[in-house]
Structure 1
Amino acid sequence: MSSAKRILLIIGGGIAAYKCLDLIRRLRERGHSVRAVMTKAAHHFVTPLSVGALTNERVLTDLFDLDEEREIGHIRLARDSDLIVVAPATADLIARMAGGHADDLATAVLLATEKPVVLAPAMNPAMWRNPATRRNVAQLKADGVRIIGPAVGEMAERGEAGPGRLVEVPELIAAIEGAFEAGASRGGVLEGRHVIITSGPTHEPIDPIRYLANRSSGKQGFELATAAAELGARVTLITGPVSLSEPAGVEIVRIKTAAEMLEAVKAALPADIAVFAAAVADWRVETIQTEKIKKSEKTGAPTLSLTENPDILKMIARPGPERPRLVIGFAAETQNVLTHAQAKLKSKRADWIVANDVSPSSGVMGGENNTVHLITASGVESWPEMSKAKVARKLMERAAEQLHAKRTAAE
């Protein structure tokens, strides 16, 4: 960020609170000022002394602090910051936020603020999946809170794994700076536009418990949906099975198979822009077994007869009254990236192809960064490595420019 911002960091009571020390350091390195509010539970994981040493500010903890509240400190805190970040946001803190409680300094500030709020959940996977937490998160999203994470991985409890980890600091910083950019572009360049985005893998069933799939995490597609929504678009995100938190302000359609994705895309039309970022399985089993295929020494390995899945990008890009004005496909390749992508642009009749190298050494599949090439009729534009959030933002801004240019040319 080129301009310094005032950030109020509310630290909740979870083991992931230790990451806030690195977060504060990195934010200050980028020129931002940080003040911190700690919940009572947060004191069990990090100390006000260590937090204060990094913020170079007094750490606030008490709603009834005599010195601060003489000037109604919680109201001043709510108004004097450009952005409020809640990390880690525990299940209890999320519940109190969603319920509009104000029984401590953290929740009183959150209830009093009119500034943007970024919330980073962290809790046990069972707590994250609990229907009460899901309801509370949905309410906060409806209230306009920007939610980042949780990440999927090993938990502090031995043997526990799943969605519930606090996202890593670089991803959190990207979300914070993305919130500033979203505020600057509210009512932005895609206002009044409808954008369809496909994301994630598809699961093609073999029998009741097995399926064909790929390693797509869906992160790039979800970041595209977030960026389009921040630029003012109405967004329909059609996603295969993924473990990601839902972007705020986006209509989500969850599917499993390629056939279901095609029908969902057709149902979502018409659209101004369609971005096909999903890693759709090329093949499916011709006959799905109704019972689990049993291993047998007599018959050996089963033979699977495969048939081709529908080519969603090619079908939607065909000329016709419902063809989106801008059709963007993705080409995930492991060799000859540009050659394959340029061929795909022609064969699919897409307007643009976003090509990237997804070989294991690239770290793109499931990673936070991406290195892409934008293939158009005019040629190839290679972008430097950047976060998937920044790739998404740049691509959607370019798409908005293209729509504007087409409208101007038509006039």
Structure 2
Amino acid sequence: MLEGKKIVLGVCGSIAAYKSATLVRLLVKAGCEVKVVTTADANNFITPLTLATLSKNPVLTEYFKHETGEWNNHVDLGLWADLIIIAPATANTIGKMANGLCDNLLTAVYLSAKCPVYFAPAMDLDMWKHEGTQQNIAQLKSYNNIFIQPGYGELASGLIGEGRMAEPEEIIDFITADLKKNLPLVNKKVLVTAGPTYEAIDPVRFLGNHSSGKMGFAIADVMAKLGADVTLISGPSSQQTKSRSIKRINVTSAADMLAACEQYFTGADVCIMSAAVADYTPVDVATQKIKKNEDTFNITLKKTTDILKTLGSKKRPGQLLVGFALETNNEEKHATEKLEKKNLDFIVLNSLNDAGAGFKTDTNKITIIERSGQKTVFQLKTKEAAATDICQKVIELIKA
């Protein structure tokens, strides 16, 4: 959920500021671009050099760069951010935020922002319990700022109680869950297959196809953005997922892919089978490299197990199963037959006769055919855009 997010991290003057270093590291690891804004007091607890090194961006504290006469534009920074996280948020800064006071760069950025704002308080027990602090927190909540509950434990003063800033891992988990909660596929488990399979002839050679896996990887990434818990089973492919939350299972042969699919199919709510699985595999696989001794060479092949048909026979009520059909002739007829024989909810048809569609391209031209007979034809699009169309059809059927 955090991949690609632009985040302003506000750090205030609290002993808990040391935790901000770990928070920055976790945000960067999650794929965020992080810019840190500190109050002057925060720099007494953690050095700007530490936060700058971890965030890979300069740390900002003052309005003005005195050595150059330039200013740090709080408006641009507030509008740049997808999220603002203030951690630790001290009683002082919380009071300023709640009452619209603006006497430093951090509060100026806060007042300029249009994005969600999360704040994780850190203070001593008596400060935390003070009626003024609680009123200020309630005021911030009324502004739709998002409160991250502090923990209970030993405080810097030696007192024991509430007021400890939430741990960085807890903050990441809280924000991730909050971002996911309104997404259409939250709590849905999605299984996606992608890429080719390689059927071994000997330790060196194999039978394969031209699939790159681009379409399946695009579907997996879109599903993750929509809140789904995604497992991607991929044949040999150089593609990489954008989302770090996707669980990737690498396989080689059709038999490998069948075994992986059967392992994860039962727990999946949605299964999108976009892999180009071999229909045939060699009967015998040589244990040593076959030498080029003869003018001709024959390989006896046997059918592989039909993964899509196997899963279709096991599909439970409410489970969605989606297949792909790449055709070269009588496209709609063949796709509709496949839809019916394999008990699919819909099938995605593309044709090698359409320029820009098929293997290895960055674009695709698809037609979605549903069990009801409804057909939706899409124009040539990027595979990411086509993946979005496929995922929207899944959402539509889930809601139906």
Count of matched residue positions in the alignment of Structure 1 and Structure 2: 254
**Residue 257 of structure 1, aligned match among 249, 253, 260:** 253
| CA separation of 1:366 and 1:186: change in aligned 2, threshold 3 A | farther
| CA separation of 1:374 and 1:80: change in aligned 2, threshold 3 A | same
Q: What are structure 1's unaligned runs of at least 5 residues?
A: 1-6, 9-36, 38-60, 85-112, 117-142, 145-182, 406-411
Q: 1:274: Cα distance to partner?
A: 0.3
Q: Using the aligned pairs only, state the percent identity.
A: 31
| CA separation of 1:319 and 1:263: change in aligned 2, threshold 3 A | closer
Of structures 1 and 2, the larger Rg is shown by 2
Q: What letter matches 2:313 in structure 1?
A: R
Secondary structure at the aligned position of 1:201 is classed as coil
In structure 1, the residue matched to 2:320 is 326
Q: 1:350: Cα distance to partner?
A: 1.1
**Residue 350 of structure 1, aligned match among 337, 344, 350:** 344
Moved over 4 A (4+): 61-64, 74-78, 183-186
| RMSD (Å), alpha carbons | 3.5
* Distance across 1 between alignment mates of 2:361 and 2:74: 40
In structure 1, the residue matched to 2:284 is 287
Task: String of CA shifts for 1:118-164, please: whole Å, max 9, x gaps.
Answer: xxxxxxxxxxxxxxxxxxxxxxxxx89xxxxxxxxxxxxxxxxxxxx
Q: 1:361: Cα distance to partner?
A: 4.4
Q: Map 1:275-314 to 2 at 5 A.
A: 275-296=272-293, 299-314=294-309
Secondary structure at the aligned position of 1:318 is classed as helix
In structure 1, the residue matched to 2:139 is none
**Residue 371 of structure 2, aligned match among 377, 384, 392:** 377
Q: Map 1:185-224 to 2 at 5 A.
A: 187-224=182-219
Structure 1 position 274 matched with structure 2 position 263: no
Q: 1:335: Cα distance to partner?
A: 1.8
TM-score by length of 2: 0.57
* Distance across 2 between alignment mates of 1:240 and 1:228: 19
Q: What letter matches 2:312 in structure 1?
A: A
**Residue 317 of structure 1, aligned match among 307, 312, 322:** 312
Q: What letter matches 1:378 in structure 2?
A: S
Query: Is residue 237–residue 250 contact of structure 1 (8 Å, CA) maintained in 2?
Result: yes
Query: Is residue 317–residue 350 contact of structure 1 (8 Å, CA) maintained in 2?
Result: yes
Q: 1:67: Cα distance to partner?
A: 8.8
Q: 1:246: Cα distance to partner?
A: 2.4
* Distance across 1 between alignment mates of 2:64 and 2:357: 48
Query: Is residue 186–residue 231 contact of structure 1 (8 Å, CA) maintained in 2?
Result: no
* Distance across 1 between alignment mates of 2:261 and 2:314: 16
Secondary structure at the aligned position of 1:259 is classed as helix
* Distance across 1 between alignment mates of 2:208 and 2:345: 27
Task: String of CA shifts for 1:276-298, please: whole Å, max 9, x gaps.
Answer: 000001111111111111111xx
Q: What letter matches 1:292 in structure 2?
A: K
Task: String of CA shifts for 1:32-57, please: whole Å, max 9, x gaps.
Answer: xxxxx9xxxxxxxxxxxxxxxxxxxx
Q: 1:184: Cα distance to partner?
A: 8.9
In structure 2, the residue matched to 1:237 is 232
